[in-house]
Chain A
Amino acid sequence: MEIRPILSALLRNRTGALLVGLQVAITLAVIANAFFIIASRLEKIRRPTGIDTPNLIFAESEGYAPDYEHAATLSSDLALLKGIAGVVAVTSTNSVPLSGGGSANNYHATPDPKAAPIAGNYFEVNADFIDAYGLTLVAGRAFRAEEFTPVPANNDLPPVLILTETMAKTAFGAEPALGKRLYDENGKSGEVIGIVSDMQGSWLGNTRPGPQDLVFHPNGGFGKTWRYVIRVRPGERDRLLPQIEKALNGSGHGRAIIWVRPHEYWLTRTFRADRRMVVFLSTLVILMTAVTALGIIGLATFQVNARRKQIGTRRALGARRADIVRYFQLENGLLGAGGVVIGALLAYAASGWLTNAFQMPPLPPLYVLASALALLALGQLAVLWPARRAGAIDPAVATRTV
C-alpha cells in the first residue's frame, strides 16, 4: 500500500494528527526516563546487604543512672544474650548497616597526613562480629577477645584493623592489604590483620566513603550508648525478639532499652523513598499510556467516521476489509513513528535535565528504544478496534446520497 495518500490524508487532518503525535512524544519522553529510574531503584532495593539480614536483630541500650557502669553492662549483656537458646552470635556495634547513621574517618596509606585521604566507614565491634553479622573471613584472622577495648581512652586508631574486600582495594589497590598499616590524621596507625567479605555500610549510595568501604575497629564508644547485633537461628527471629527485649529490660544496670528491632526495619525505612518512587512512577506510567491509547482510539474513530463515504467508495471499488484495516494501521504507524522520533529527542532532553539537576546517569539508548517499540505496539493495538469497524463499513454507503 502506498504511503503518500495516507500522509496527505494525515496532513489534511493536521490538528488531530499533531495532537496524537505530541501525546505519543511526551509519553515516550516520560516513560523512557521513568523506566530507567524505576529499574535503577529496583536494583538498589534488591542489592544484597552482604549480611544475614533475615536473622539479625539489633538492640540499643542507653545508660542514664548516676551509678551506670558502661563496660560492666556490656560484658553482662553479651553473656546474657549469648545464653538465650537460639542466639547464634552477638557483637556490640556503633552503627546499624543501611540505617543512614554511622561514623566515617579519613585514613591514609602512609604516615604522611598530607597524602590523599582514604574515606572509610568504620564500625566499632567486638571479636565475634564476623559471625554476628554473618560475614566470611577471606584472609588473615579475626580479632582476638583481648584486642577489644570496651571504653577507649581517646579517638586514636586501634592497633589492629579488619577491612572489607572493597576497602582493601580502595586503600591498597592491587597490592595485598594484609599486614599493611592504615594511618589516621594524627599519625596513629593500625595493622590490617584480616579481610572479610563485603557488606553494605551505614549509608546507602554514598560516594565518599563508598557504600562498601568499611573498616572494623575492635572498640566500644565513649558514650553511654551501646548497640547489639544479635544473630539467631533461621526462622527464630520473630519468636526470639520479644524474649530478647524482655531479658534486656529485666537486667537492670540503670539503663534503658531504647529499641529492639529486626534489621529489616531499617531496610524498609531506608528504601521507603525508593519504593514510593517506584509505585508512584509506575502508576503514572500506566495511566499515561492508557490515556495515550485512548487518544489514539479517539482520533482513529473520528477519522473512520469522517471518512465513511470514502471508505465505502474504496470498498465498492474492490478494496477488501483487510486493505481498509491495513490502511488505518499504516496511518497509525506513520503517526506513531513521527511521535516516537520527537519523543526520543524529548526523552534525551529530559534526561539531560535530570543529569544536570540531580546528577543522574545519562539515559541508556536501550530504554528509549524499548519504550518506543512498546508505544508503537500499543498504538497498533489501540487502532485495531476502530480499524476493524472501518473494515466493516458497507460498500453501499458510497451510493447512498443522503
Chain B
Amino acid sequence: MLGYYLRLAWLSLKRTPAITLLMIGAIALGIGATTTTLTVYHRMSTNPIAQRNDVLRAVTLDNWSADRPWDTDHPDNAPAELTYRDALAIAQGAPASRLVVMRKTSLTAEPGAGRPPFLVVVRLATHDFFPMFDVPFAYGAGWDGKADRDGEPVAVLSKETNGKLFGGENSVGKIVRLDGREYRVIGVLADWQPTPKFYDLNNGEYDTPEDLFLPFALGATLELQPAGNVNCWKPETLAGLRDLFGSECIWHQLWAELRTPAEVERFQSYIDGYVAEQKKLGRFPRRINNRLYTVDEWLARHEVVGRDSRVLLVVSFAFLAVCVLNVVGLLLSRFLGAAGATAIRRALGASRGEIFRQHLVEVGLVGALAGIGGLALGAVGLTALQQLYSSYDRLTQLDLSMTLAAIALAVLAGLLAGLYPAWRICRVQPAGYLKTQ
C-alpha cells in the first residue's frame, strides 16, 4: 500500500503546486534557521574533551578579599585562577594521578633568513598538560618531569607555528629562537582545536590554542611577562614581575586528573588542609571554599554559550513553531478541501486507518522534501554566518550530528504539522459529502 499512498501523495501535491511549495518552503525555512542556530549553539556548548570529563578537575581556591567576593553576582564562586605560590605549592605536594599548572606568556620568534620576527602566544605548562588533555602529536612528544624540574629549553610547536617556522616538515631536533634565546623543538602538534578552549576559559574562550608550549619553570627563571589576565585585590606595591610572583594576584590555571572518587576526596582534603595552613599565616581571609569542577561544570560556570546564541536559538524555534502552525493550517485546508474524494474512498471501503496512513504519507513526503531543503538552507545560513563569525569558523561547520538533528527535526516538524490534519480528515463522515458535488 505504501507505493499506492506515495503515488496518491504525489498526485495530490502536484495538483496545487503553489501550496505545496509554500508548505515545503515554510518548513524548510524553519528547519534551516534552527539548524543554523543549533549548530552554533552545539559548537559553543560542546564539551571538547567529553571522553575525559569525569577524571579532569579544574582547581579553584578562594584567596580573595575579606571585603568582597570574587564575583559579586555569584558570591559562592571562588576565583577562576590561582596565585603563583599556591599553584606551585599544590602542584608540588598534592596527591593526584596527574596535575598541570600553567599560564600564558608571549615571546617573539625570529625565523631568521631575513624574515621579520613575529609574536607567538606561549603556554607555560608542566609536562602532564599533553597526556591529561589528549593533545595529539604529529612529530615527537612532550617533555618529562625532569625537563620541568631543570627548566630545560625545549619547545612544542603548534601545527601552524611549525608551518610558519619550518614549512610544516618534521622539525624535531631543530632550534627555534625566541626573545633571543634558543630552544630545541621536541614535538609538533597535529591539528588540535578544542572549542571552546576549556583548559583556559579566562583568556578568550574561543581562541585557538597557543602557538607554542614551554616548560612551566622557564616562566620564573627567565621572568617571562604574563600575557593573560592578571587580577589583584590586595593593596600591594608591585615593582615588576618579581613582586607579582609573591603577590595575591591570580594568573595561573591548575587542573588535576583524579581517577576515583577516593582520589577526588583525598585531593579535596589536601587543598582544604593547605588553605587552613595558609590561614594560620594570615592569608585566605574568606571561609574555606575550594572547589573542583569537571569540564562540564567548568563550562557551565563560565557560561561559555553566549547569550546571543541562546536568544537566537529560542527565536529560531519560535520561527519553526510559526512555520509548523502555518503548515498545519495549509494541510488542514487542503485535506478538508479534498474531503469529497476522501468520502468516496470511505464509501468504497477504505477504513479510517487507511485514510490516516494515506495522509500521513503525504505529510511525510512534504516533511522529507522540507528536510532536504532545510539542510540546504542551513548550509547556506552557516556559510553566510561564516562571514559574520570569521575567526570562529569552527563554530559554523555543519557536522554529522547536526545533519542528523536537522533531519530528525524536519520529520518531527512534519509529523507535528500533519498529525492533526490527518486525524481530522480520517474522522470525516462520508455520507455528508456524497449527495451533491
Contact = CB atoms under 8 A, between A and B. Distances in A.
A64 B225 CA distance: 12
A357 interface: yes
Nearest to B116: A249
Interface in A132-147: none
B161 interface: no
B322 A26 contact: yes
Contacts, number: 145
A279 B22 CA distance: 24
Given A291-B26, A302-B333, A224 B436 contact: no
A402 B328 contact: no
Interface string A183-198: 0111100000000000
A23 B332 CA distance: 15
A277 B118 contact: no
B388 A276 contact: yes
Given A16-B332, A155-B238, A272-B388, A62 B108 contact: yes
B78 to A, nearest CB: 20
A299 B332 CA distance: 10
Determine the main DSSP class of A at the interface with B: helix
Contacts of A184: 235
Interface of A: 15-16, 19-20, 22-23, 26-27, 29-30, 34, 37, 62-66, 113, 153-156, 184-187, 222-225, 249, 254-258, 272-273, 275-277, 279-281, 284, 287-288, 291-292, 294-295, 298-299, 301-302, 305-306, 350, 354, 357-358, 401-402
22 contacts: A15-B332, A26-B325, A30-B315, A34-B315, A64-B107, A64-B110, A155-B238, A223-B225, A224-B225, A258-B119, A272-B388, A276-B308, A276-B388, A277-B308, A280-B312, A291-B323, A295-B325, A298-B22, A298-B329, A298-B330, A299-B329, A358-B307
Nearest to A208: B72
B33 interface: yes
Contacts of A225: 225
Contacts of B390: 272
A126 to B, nearest CB: 21
Interface in B311-347: 311-312, 314-316, 318-319, 321-323, 325-326, 328-330, 332-333, 337
Interface in B354-370: none
B179 A64 contact: yes
Contact of A19 (B19, B26, B328): B328
B180 interface: yes
A370 to B, nearest CB: 18
B312 A277 contact: yes
A288 B322 contact: yes
B240 interface: yes
A65 B180 contact: yes
A7 B236 CA distance: 76
B237 A23 contact: no
Given A15-B332, A295-B329, A305-B337, 13 more contacts: A23-B329, A26-B322, A155-B237, A222-B241, A256-B108, A256-B117, A284-B316, A291-B29, A298-B19, A298-B333, A306-B337, A401-B436, A402-B436
Given A277-B308, A284-B315, A284-B319, A402 B26 contact: no
Contacts of A19: 325-326, 328-329, 332
A261 to B, nearest CB: 14
B418 to A, nearest CB: 13
Contacts of B424: 15
Nearest to B239: A154
B312 A281 contact: yes
A22 B333 contact: no
B306 interface: yes
Contacts of A350: 314
A291 B312 contact: no
Contacts of B51: none
A287 B33 contact: yes
Contacts of A153: 239
